[in-house]
Amino acid sequence: MSTEAIERFAARVMEAAGLQPVAPVPLERLAAAYGVDSIVRSVMIEDGRLEQRNGRTVIFLREGSMATRQRFTLAHELGHLMLAKPDEDFTARRMWSGPDREERFCDQFAAAVLLPRDWVIAQFGGAPERLSVVRKLARTAEASLSASLLRLREVLGWERSLLHWRRYEGDWRLISTAGLPRHAHNRLTSEAATRALLDALTYGPDTQEISLPIALAGRSTVIPAEASVGERSAVALAAFARERRV
């Protein structure tokens, strides 16, 4: 299914459930409208699981994971439910790896449901590519910063990327990225200079314009970015150069 078709499909799914495509989307109501009998938080390895057995549909979510992640997972499992044949007993597991076609569909469906395209355009179209805008979208839609940034890229053509560090035992580690240009995929590492800069920034919710030193494919480089640092985590919205054609 094309991205366009998934957007239309997600909009139809919400409309049929009597829901406005306006965030925050009441996912529990959406689930109930499509016959989910219960949503259970439990201790498990994967993020989520959809089970249909003996005429009952149950979605399991990993207890203890962030609320925003649970919401994304719930929407993702609803994607599996949409694909499932109603008379078939099956179990769909949610792991964060293995992006096969169905998994990709479910992720796109989840983004389209949680962050409805037309709503994103109406609320954030023309907004500057700022961390404060990503945060506002995330807060309003009850989505993660990463999912929000990816949606801003997808729907509004944003070009910036999100980097997220966590402080472990006094050391900053780059733990996740979203929306990196392809030439930077899996090629970004923090350097001593990166950690020194994060240490030197003022704590607090305000963002600061920085020149971010970082290693890209093993080479030191500097990326213009906007950053915000807390006691244990730091985020930056970075403006990588456009993909170089080789």
User: Closer CB to Zn ion, residue 111 or residue 234?
Assistant: 111
Shortest CB 106 distance to Zn ion, Å? 5
Number of residues near Zn ion (by CB under 5 A)? 3
User: Closer CB to Zn ion, residue 72 or residue 119?
Assistant: 72
User: Closer CB to Zn ion, residue 94 or residue 151?
Assistant: 94
Shortest CB 48 distance to Zn ion, Å? 7
Q: What does the per-residue mask of binding to Zn ion show for 161-180, with x meaning CB under 5 A?
A: --------------------
Please give the Cα distance from 82 to 106 (Å, whole number): 9
Shortest CB 17 distance to Zn ion, Å? 20
List binders of Zn ion among 100-119 (CB under 5 A): 103, 106
Instruction: Please pick, from the candidates 62, 69, 94, 195, the single residue that binds Zn ion as defined by CB under 5 A.
Output: 94
The DSSP line for the chain is: --HHHHHHHHHHHHHHTT--S-SSP-HHHHHHHTT--EEEEE--SSSEEEEEETTEEEEEEETTS-HHHHHHHHHHHHHHHHHS-TT--EEEEE-SS---HHHHHHHHHHHHHHS-HHHHHHHHTT--S-HHHHHHHHHHHT--HHHHHHHHHHHH----EEEEEEEETTEEEEEEEES--GGGTT-EE--HHHHHHHHHSPBSSS-EEEEEEEEETTEEEEEEEEEEE-SSEEEEEE-PPPPPP-
Shortest CB 103 distance to Zn ion, Å? 5
Shortest CB 49 distance to Zn ion, Å? 9
User: Closer CB to Zn ion, residue 106 or residue 149?
Assistant: 106
Q: Does 195 bind Zn ion (CB under 5 A)?
A: no
User: Closer CB to Zn ion, residue 36 or residue 106?
Assistant: 106
Binding site for Zn ion (CB under 5 A): 94, 103, 106
